[in-house]
Amino acid sequence: MINNFWELAKVVVPGAKVILTCRTEHFPEAKEGRMLLNAELQASTAKLTGETPQFEVLELEKFNDEQIRQVLSFQAESTTVEQVMSNAYLLDLARRPVMTELILEALPDIEAGKPVDMSRVYLYMKA
């Protein structure tokens, strides 16, 4: 994991602004993630040449029910919003702001009454 992170970091040039997202399962301990991003883990800096890059760690708060309803209501009818809100898996996915786009992409199928298959919801993300 550490080596993969630094492979990604190699393409960041001075002055670039890059956002790298990660789910908590990759960094179960916030301290470990901060140590990696601050270049404090020796294994993470062994192959680096020059000055270590500096990163800022941000943690996004999860959406609450009202925020989810608001986001969905911009794109869907109230019946569809309630359908999403009553599906525990979709609701859990929608709590993560960056994942809400997946649900928005799936709205036509949800509105058409097609069954919601969570393994397929991830396929809605446009390339």
Tell me how far CA of residue 74 lies from CA of 52, 70, 80, 92, 118, in angstroms.
43, 7, 11, 19, 22
Asked if residue 73 is part of any domain, the answer here is: yes
Tally of structural domains, the chain:
2
Q: Answer yes or no: are the C-beta atoms of 6 and 39 closer than 8 Å.
A: no
| pLDDT at 59 (0 to 100) | 74
Q: Which two tokens stand for residue 24?
A: 């908590």
- State whether 37 and 87 are in the same domain: no
Asked if residue 56 is part of any domain, the answer here is: no
Q: Answer yes or no: are the C-beta atoms of 80 and 111 closer than 8 Å.
A: yes
Asked if residue 72 is part of any domain, the answer here is: yes
Asked if residue 11 is part of any domain, the answer here is: yes
- State whether 73 and 38 are in the same domain: no
Asked if residue 52 is part of any domain, the answer here is: no
Q: Answer yes or no: are the C-beta atoms of 76 and 37 closer than 8 Å.
A: no
- State whether 41 and 78 are in the same domain: no
Asked if residue 21 is part of any domain, the answer here is: yes
Q: Which two tokens stand for residue 81?
A: 């919003």
What is the residue range of 106's domain? Answer: 65-124
- State whether 38 and 76 are in the same domain: no
Asked if residue 118 is part of any domain, the answer here is: yes
Q: What is the pLDDT along the chain (127 residues), one digit of tens a residue?
A: 667 777 777 777 777 777 776 665 555 566 666 666 665 655 555 555 556 556 677 777 899 999 999 999 999 999 999 999 999 988 998 998 878 888 888 888 888 888 777 766 666 554 4
- State whether 76 and 112 are in the same domain: yes
